[in-house]
C-alpha cells in the first residue's frame, strides 16, 4: 500500500480526453436521501449507505493505469512548480466544528475539501482513493467527542495515521490526540477540562507555525475545547513536541466588538487592557466565575512526527477567537506543496537512471500491489452518511462542471403559480393604536386559528416587522404532523400529516421521508413573479406560519428520540391573507395571495375597511376583554417541576462528568414545569406576557383543532434567510437577572460581559453556528459581525452574538434549516453526541420548547425564532420549558437558579391569568 510512486494531481490526464485533467471529487454535506457523483473507475452502481438507503454512485471519468503511465512520465518532465490548488480529504469525527475547517480550507486550498465521516469508507475504499485514484494531496482529521482509544469515536483515523506515512496529515484536537495515541503516547485527563477558553501558546518555530508569534503577551492566543490531553512524558522518540501553553492560566475572550470576517486572527485587541478596569468596577468573585482559570501545568499543544509529514494541534485553529488560525492552515498547505515538490524531484532523479520500460514495469507493479489490497472492493458500501452533491470550482479548476443536486424534487401536486396583491397604509399603525389594537380588532374576537409573529421589542433595531392573520381564503390550510412511534428507533422522521382546508375538508397521509422533506417539496412547487413584491420592505409575503418541534431533530441527523411529544411535532397554517406592520415607519400593509387562475380582492377590501374604522372605543373594549383574568380563584395550584431541585443538580453533575470525559464540550440541559388549568384566557395571557416581557421574536399561535395555544416571548433568533440569500443566526448564551437599582443593574451587566464561563458558553455556540451555516453557505462568506454583545430585556441581561453567511445558490430554504436544526444554543456541542446524552438525562420530550416558530414565505425566505420563555397551553395543561448550558466551569447550584430565573416571568403571567 505504501507506494513511493504517488504523483501530483496536475501530472495526470484522463486518457479519454487529453484536454480533461484527472481531478478530485468535492462532496458537499447535505442530507439524505443521497446521490454521490464521484471520480472513480468502478462503474455506475447502487449501493447501500449506513442507514440502509441506496446511494447512486456515478462514474464521471474512466482511466487506465497502463495508458496513464506515459502521460505521467511526460508531465514529470515539466519544471517543478506548486499547484494552483490543494485537494484535502477532511475526516469528520462527528464534530460540530468540522465545517469551520471546511470553510477555511476552501479558500486557502483554492478548492473545497472532500468531507467524509470517520466510518463512511472502509480501509480498502480509502486506499483506493488515496493511492489508486490519487484523489487527494493531504488529509485533515477533525476534532470530535470522546477519545482516540475508543474505536467508535475515532473510526478509520488511526489506520490513516499509522499506514499513510507518505501523505501529509494534520490532526486537530481529537486528531492530534490520535496522532499521539497511534504511536504509543498515553491519553489522560487534563488537570481540568478547558472548553471555549483561550490560552497563549509558544512554539518551536517549525514550518506549521511560520509567521506566527510565540510566547506570552505576543498575541498568539488560541481557543481550546478538550478534556483529554497527550501525556507529554509518554511521547515516543518519533513524536516531537512543537507547541505548548505559555503559562498555567487561561484567558477570557475580551476582544474587538467588530470581529470582522470568519476566523479573524489579527483583529483581536489585547485582552489585558480590559481586565484591571473591570475588576475594579465589579469587585471580587461572582457566581458567574469572573476569576479567570488556572491549570496546574503547561499543556502540550502541538506535535509532529520526526520522519513523516504528520502534525497535530490540541487547540482549534478554526475557532473565530483563535488568533492566526488561518495562517496555520496556510502553512499546512505550504508543507503539502513542499512535500510533493520534493517527492516529484526525487522521482525524476530516480527516473533519469532507468529506462522507460523499467519505469512502466515499476508503475504496473505498484498498481498491482494496490489492486491486491482493493480486490474486495466492488462497491462503495458506505460512501457518505448524509446527502452529498458535487460542486466543482470552475474558476480554479477550469475543466469541471457544476452538478446541481437541489431542485430535483417536485411537489406531488405539481407547480402552483401564485399571484400577490398588497396595499400600504402609511403612518396608520400609531393612529389606530398599534399592533395590539390591530390584532385585537381584526382577529381577537375569537382568536381561533390565528397567528401573530410579534416584534413587541423593537428598540435598538432588534426587530422591525410584525405579521398577523387568521383563517384565510381558498389557499388557506392547516398542516399537523406527528412522528411515528419512535420506540424502535427506526422511523427516521416518518410520520402522519393531517391537512385541513378553509372549507373543513381534511385528509391524513403518511410521510415516509418526514415533514421537512414535504415542506421542501411544497415550497419548491411555487412559481411567482418577483416584481410583485419589489416594493415591500419585508420578506414574508404569504406562506407557512407555525412551529417545528424539537423532536424533528430525527429529520436532521439524530438517530432517534427517547421520548414522545404530547403536542404535534409540527403545526403550520398556509396563510394566504395577512397583515404586516412596519414598526420603524409606522406603516401597515395588507397582503393576499391567490392562484394565477383566480382574482380575489374581497379580503383586501374588507380588511381595509376594518382597519380604517378602528377607533378608540372599539380598541378599549377589545383590550379590556382580553386583559382580564378569566377566573379569580383563591386556591390556585402552582406549577410542578418535572424534576426536583436535587434531581436537576444531580443531572448537572452528570453533565460535568460527560464533559470531563471528553464526551461533550457543552450540554444544554433542560426541564419542564407544568400545571393543570381549567379555564384560561389564552390571548389575554399573551397580551399580558408581551406587555411585561416584550421580545423581538415573540409569537402567538392558536391551533383550535389541536386545543393548542402558544404564548412565546422569545428574545432569540434561530435562523433567518432574506431575499438577498443572506443567512443569519443570533444565538443567546449567558443570562443574568436585572438589578433592583440602576447601579446594581450596571454591575450585573458588567459581570455577565466579563464572565469567563458565559463567554465560553457563547463562544462554543458561535463556533457551532458558524459550522452549521458553513454547510450551506458559500466558502469564505460565513462571518461574525457581532460577538458577545450584551442585550438588556425587562427581567434579564443576555449575551448575544450574530453569525451571517451567503447561502449557496443550489441550496433550498429547508436545506438551510435542516443543516442547523435544532438551534445549537439549545443542544450544546458537538451537537449530535450532546443531543444523545441529553435525551438520556431528560425525563420527557421537550415538545415545542427548544424548537422554532416563524414563517416560510412562498418565495423561500424564512425567519424562525428559538422557542424559549414560552407558555404552551395544551389540553388543559400549561407547561414551560427552561434550562441552561452546562460547561466545565458550571456550578450545579447556580445552574439550577438560572433555570428557575428563566421560568419566573412566564409562570407569573399564567398564575395571574388563571
pLDDT of residue 790: 94
C-alpha cell at 318: 478554526
CA separation for the pair 781, 262 (Å, rounded): 8
Categorize the per-residue pLDDT at 307 as very low, low, confident or very high, splitting at 50, 70 and 90. Answer: very high
pLDDT of residue 629: 56
CB 589 within 8 A of CB 536: yes
pLDDT of residue 381: 30
CA separation for the pair 764, 666 (Å, rounded): 8
Nearest to 244 by CA among 215, 206, 201, 284: 201
Lowest mean pLDDT among 57-66, 85-94, 431-440, 877-886: 57-66
Q: Which helix (H) or strand (E) holds 906?
A: helix 892-913
CB 279 within 8 A of CB 272: no
User: What's the whole-number mean pLDDT along residues 484-510?
Assistant: 84
Categorize the per-residue pLDDT at 395 as very low, low, confident or very high, splitting at 50, 70 and 90. Answer: very low
Catalytic residue of the set 226, 316, 389, 874: 316
Say yes or no to pLDDT of 750 above 80: yes
Q: What is the DSSP letter of 847?
A: T
Categorize the per-residue pLDDT at 245 as very low, low, confident or very high, splitting at 50, 70 and 90. Answer: very high
CB 753 within 8 A of CB 772: no
Summarize pLDDT for 6-25 with one digit per residue, the tens.
323 332 222 222 222 222 22
Categorize the per-residue pLDDT at 228 as very low, low, confident or very high, splitting at 50, 70 and 90. Answer: very high
CB 187 within 8 A of CB 148: yes
**181 three-class SS:** helix
| Residue tagged 409569537 (cell numbers) | 699
Mutual orientation of helices 616-625 and 434-443 as an angle, nearest 10°? 80
Q: What percent of the chain has pLDDT over 70?
A: 76
Say yes or no to pLDDT of 485 above 50: yes
- Reported as half-sphere exposure (CB side, CA atoms, 13 A), residue 87 has a value of 23
CA separation for the pair 824, 751 (Å, rounded): 24
Q: What is the DSSP letter of 270?
A: P
Summarize pLDDT for 131-174 with one digit per residue, the tens.
999 999 999 999 999 999 999 999 999 999 999 999 999 999 99
Residue 508, classified by CB atoms within 10 Å of its CB into exposed (0-12), middle (13-18) or buried (19+), is exposed
Say yes or no to pLDDT of 580 above 90: yes
- Reported as half-sphere exposure (CB side, CA atoms, 13 A), residue 29 has a value of 29
Say yes or no to pLDDT of 805 above 90: yes
**721 three-class SS:** strand
Q: What is the DSSP letter of 316?
A: B
Dihedral pair phi/psi, residue 522, rounded to 5°: -60, -50
C-alpha cell at 545: 406560519
Lowest mean pLDDT among 167-181, 292-306, 591-605, 896-910: 292-306
CB 753 within 8 A of CB 746: no
**Strand-strand pairing, 796-806 and 732-737:** antiparallel
CA separation for the pair 787, 789 (Å, rounded): 6
Q: For residue 887, how far is the Cα from the chain centroid? A: 19
Give first-to-last CA distance, the chain, whole Å: 73
Comparing 102 with 271, the larger pLDDT belongs to 102
Summarize pLDDT for 76-112 with one digit per residue, the tens.
444 557 789 999 999 999 999 999 999 999 999 999 9
pLDDT of residue 246: 86
∠ CA 311-316-320, nearest 5°, is 140
Catalytic residue of the set 125, 318, 663, 761: 318
Q: For residue 841, how far is the Cα from the chain centroid? A: 22
Q: Check the CA dihedral 357-361-366-370 and report its sign.
A: positive
Summarize pLDDT for 646-702 with one digit per residue, the tens.
999 999 999 999 999 999 999 999 999 999 998 889 999 999 999 998 999 999 999
DSSP letter for each residue of 603-614? HHHHHHHHHHH-
Say yes or no to pLDDT of 393 above 50: no
pLDDT of residue 687: 95
187-223: burial string, b at 16+ Cβ within 10 Å, e else: beebeebbbbbbbbbbbeeeebbeebebeeeebbbbb
237 is catalytic: no
Q: Beginning with the edge strand found earlier in the chain, give each strand of the sheet holding 54-59 in spatial order.
A: 35-38, 54-59, 45-48
Q: What percent of the chain has pLDDT over 90?
A: 68
Dihedral pair phi/psi, residue 912, rounded to 5°: -70, -35
CA separation for the pair 83, 134 (Å, rounded): 15
∠ CA 780-784-786, nearest 5°, is 160
895 is catalytic: no
User: What's the whole-number mean pLDDT along residues 249-270?
Assistant: 48
User: What's the whole-number mean pLDDT along residues 387-409?
Assistant: 30
Catalytic residue of the set 157, 164, 173, 668: 173
Mutual orientation of helices 813-820 and 756-774 as an angle, nearest 10°? 140
User: What is the gyration radius of the CA atoms in the chain, in angstroms?
Assistant: 29
Non-local CB neighbours of 906 within 8 Å, separated by 6+ positions: 689, 693, 711, 713, 869, 870, 871, 880
Q: Which helix (H) or strand (E) holds 791?
A: strand 783-792
Global pTM value: 0.83
Say yes or no to pLDDT of 729 above 70: yes
pLDDT of residue 20: 27
DSSP letter for each residue of 537-583? SSS--SEEEEEE-GGGGGGTT----SS--SS-SEEEEEESEEEEEET
Q: What is the DSSP letter of 460?
A: G
CA 404 to each of CA 27, 401, 769, 812: distance values in angstroms, whole numbers, following the listed order:
12, 9, 25, 12
Summarize pLDDT for 530-564 with one digit per residue, the tens.
999 999 999 999 999 999 999 999 999 999 999 99
**108 three-class SS:** helix
289 is catalytic: no
CB 683 within 8 A of CB 711: no
Say yes or no to pLDDT of 594 above 80: yes
User: What's the whole-number mean pLDDT along residues 457-461?
Assistant: 74
Say yes or no to pLDDT of 358 above 60: no
DSSP letter for each residue of 726-783? EEEEE-EEEEEEPPSSHHHHHHHHHHHHT-HHHHHHHHHHHHHHHHHHHTTB-TT--E
For the chain, the average pLDDT equals 81
CA separation for the pair 833, 666 (Å, rounded): 10
C-alpha cell at 248: 498555567
User: What's the whole-number mean pLDDT along residues 569-598?
Assistant: 94
C-alpha cell at 446: 375569537
Amino acid at each position: 500500500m505504501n507506494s513511493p510512486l504517488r504523483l501530483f494531481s496536475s501530472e495526470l490526464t484522463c486518457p479519454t480526453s487529453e484536454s480533461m485533467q484527472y481531478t478530485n471529487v468535492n462532496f458537499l454535506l447535505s442530507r439524505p436521501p443521497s446521490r454521490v457523483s464521484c471520480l472513480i473507475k468502478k462503474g455506475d452502481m447502487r449501493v447501500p449507505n449506513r442507514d440502509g438507503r441506496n446511494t447512486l454512485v456515478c462514474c464521471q471519468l474512466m482511466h487506465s493505469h497502463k495508458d496513464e503511465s506515459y502521460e505521467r512520465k511526460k508531465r514529470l518532465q515539466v519544471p517543478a512548480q506548486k499547484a494552483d490548488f490543494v485537494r484535502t480529504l477532511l475526516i469528520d469525527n462527528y464534530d460540530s466544528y468540522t465545517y469551520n475547517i471546511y470553510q477555511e480550507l476552501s479558500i486557502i486550498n483554492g478548492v473545497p475539501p472532500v468531507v467524509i465521516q470517520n466510518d463512511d469508507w472502509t480501509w480498502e475504499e480509502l486506499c483506493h482513493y488515496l493511492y489508486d485514484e490519487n484523489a487527494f494531496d493531504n488529509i485533515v482529521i477533525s476534532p470530535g467527542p470522546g477519545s482516540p482509544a475508543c474505536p467508535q469515536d475515532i473510526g478509520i483515523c488511526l489506520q490513516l495515521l499509522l499506514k499513510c506515512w507518505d501523505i501529509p496529515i494534520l490532526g486537530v484536537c481529537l486528531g492530534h490526540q490520535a496522532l499521539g495515541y497511534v504511536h504509543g503516547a498515553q491519553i489522560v485527563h487534563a488537570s481540568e477540562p478547558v472548553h471555549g477558553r483561550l490560552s497563549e501558546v509558544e512554539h518551536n518555530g517549525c514550518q506549521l507555525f511560520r509567521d506566527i508569534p510565540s510566547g506570552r503577551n505576543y498575541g498568539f492566543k488560541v481557543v481550546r475545547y478538550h478534556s483529554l490531553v497527550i501525556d507529554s512524558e509518554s511521547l515516543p522518540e518519533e513524536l516531537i513536541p512543537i507547541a505548548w501553553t505559555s503559562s498555567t492560566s487561561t484567558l477570557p475572550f475580551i476582544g474587538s466588538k467588530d470581529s470582522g470576517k470568519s476566523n479573524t486572527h489579527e483583529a483581536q485587541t489585547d485582552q489585558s487592557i480590559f481586565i484591571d478596569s473591570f475588576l475594579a468596577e465589579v469587585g471580587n468573585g461572582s457566581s458567574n466565575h469572573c476569576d479567570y482559570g488556572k491549570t496546574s501545568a503547561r499543556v502540550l499543544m502541538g506535535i509532529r512526527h520526526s520522519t513523516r509529514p504528520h502534525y497535530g494541534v490540541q487547540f482549534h485553529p478554526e475557532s473565530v477567537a483563535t488568533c492566526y488560525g488561518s495562517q496555520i492552515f496556510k502553512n499546512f498547505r505550504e508543507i503539502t506543496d513542499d512535500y510533493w515538490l520534493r517527492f516529484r524531484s526525487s522521482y525524476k532523479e530516480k527516473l533519469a537512471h532507468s529506462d522507460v520500460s523499467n519505469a512502466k514495469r515499476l508503475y504496473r507493479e505498484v498498481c498491482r500491489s494496490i489492486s491486491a489490497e482493493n480486490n474486495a472492493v466492488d462497491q462503495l458500501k458506505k460512501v457518505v452518511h448524509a446527502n452529498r452533491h458535487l460542486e466543482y470550482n470552475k474558476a480554479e479548476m477550469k475543466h469541471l462542471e457544476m452538478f446541481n443536486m437541489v431542485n430535483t424534487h417536485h411537489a406531488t401536486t405539481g407547480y402552483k403559480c401564485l399571484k400577490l396583491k398588497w396595499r400600504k397604509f402609511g403612518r396608520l399603525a400609531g393612529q389606530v393604536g398599534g399592533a395590539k389594537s390591530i390584532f385585537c380588532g381584526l382577529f381577537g374576537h375569537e382568536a381561533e386559528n390565528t397567528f401573530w409573529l410579534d416584534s413587541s421589542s423593537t428598540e435598538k433595531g432588534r426587530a422591525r416587522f410584525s405579521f398577523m392573520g387568521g383563517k384565510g381564503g381558498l389557499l388557506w390550510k392547516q398542516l399537523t404532523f406527528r412522528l411515528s412511534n419512535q420506540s424502535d428507533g427506526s422511523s427516521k422522521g416518518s410520520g402522519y400529516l393531517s391537512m385541513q382546508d378553509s372549507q373543513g375538508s381534511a385528509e391524513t397521509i403518511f410521510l415516509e421521508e418526514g415533514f421537512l422533506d414535504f415542506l421542501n417539496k411544497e415550497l419548491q412547487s411555487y412559481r411567482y413573479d418577483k416584481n410583485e413584491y419589489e416594493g415591500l420592505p419585508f420578506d414574508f409575503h404569504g406562506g407557512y406560519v407555525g412551529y417545528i418541534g424539537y423532536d424533528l431533530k430525527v429529520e436532521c441527523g439524530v438517530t432517534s428520540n427517547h421520548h414522545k411529544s404530547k403536542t404535534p411535532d409540527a403545526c403550520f397554517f398556509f396563510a394566504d391573507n395577512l397583515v404586516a406592520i412596519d414598526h420603524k415607519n409606522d406603516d401597515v400593509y395588507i397582503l393576499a395571495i391567490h392562484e394565477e387562475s383566480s382574482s380575489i380582492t374581497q379580503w383586501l377590501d374588507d380588511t381595509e375597511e376594518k382597519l380604517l374604522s378602528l377607533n378608540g372605543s372599539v380598541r378599549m373594549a377589545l383590550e379590556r376583554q382580553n386583559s382580564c383574568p378569566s377566573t379569580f380563584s383563591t386556591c390556585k395550584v402552582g406549577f410542578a417541576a418535572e424534576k426536583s431541585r436535587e434531581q436537576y443538580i444531580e443531572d448537572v453533575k452528570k453533565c460535568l462528568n460527560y464533559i470531563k470525559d471528553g464526551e461533550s464540550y457543552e450540554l444544554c440541559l433542560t426541564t419542564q414545569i407544568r400545571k393543570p388549568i381549567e379555564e384560561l384566557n389564552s390571548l389575554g395571557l399573551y397580551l399580558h406576557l408581551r406587555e411585561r416581557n416584550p421580545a423581538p421574536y415573540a409569537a402567538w399561535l392558536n391551533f383550535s383543532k389541536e386545543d393548542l395555544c402558544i404564548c412565546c416571548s422569545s428574545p432569540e433568533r434561530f435562523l433567518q434567510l432574506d431575499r438577498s440569500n443572506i443567512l443569519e443566526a443570533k444565538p443567546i448564551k449567558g443570562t443574568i437577572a436585572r438589578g433592583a437599582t440602576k447601579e446594581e443593574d450596571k454591575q450585573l451587566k458588567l459581570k455577565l460581559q466579563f464572565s469567563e464561563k458565559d463567554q465560553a458558553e457563547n463562544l462554543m455556540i458561535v463556533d457551532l453556528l458558524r459550522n452549521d451555516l458553513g454547510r450551506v453557505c458559500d466558502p469564505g462568506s460565513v462571518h461574525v459581525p457581532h460577538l458577545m454583545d450584551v442585550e438588556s430585556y425587562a427581567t434579564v441581561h443576555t449575551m448575544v452574538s450574530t453569525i451571517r453567511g451567503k447561502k449557496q445558490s443550489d441550496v433550498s430554504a429547508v436545506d438551510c434549516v435542516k443543516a442547523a436544526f435544532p438551534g445549537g444554543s439549545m443542544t450544546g456541542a458537538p451537537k449530535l453526541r450532546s443531543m444523545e446524552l441529553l435525551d438520556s438525562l431528560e425525563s420527557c420530550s421537550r415538545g415545542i420548547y427548544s424548537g422554532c416558530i416563524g414563517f416560510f414565505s412562498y418565495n423561500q425566505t424564512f425567519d424562525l425564532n428559538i422557542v424559549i420563555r414560552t407558555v404552551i397551553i395544551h389540553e388543559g395543561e400549561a407547561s414551560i420549558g427552561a434550562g441552561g448550558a452546562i460547561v466545565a466551569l458550571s456550578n450545579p447550584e447556580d445552574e439550577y437558579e438560572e433555570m428557575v430565573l428563566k421560568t419566573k416571568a412566564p409562570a407569573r403571567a399564567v398564575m395571574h391569568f388563571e
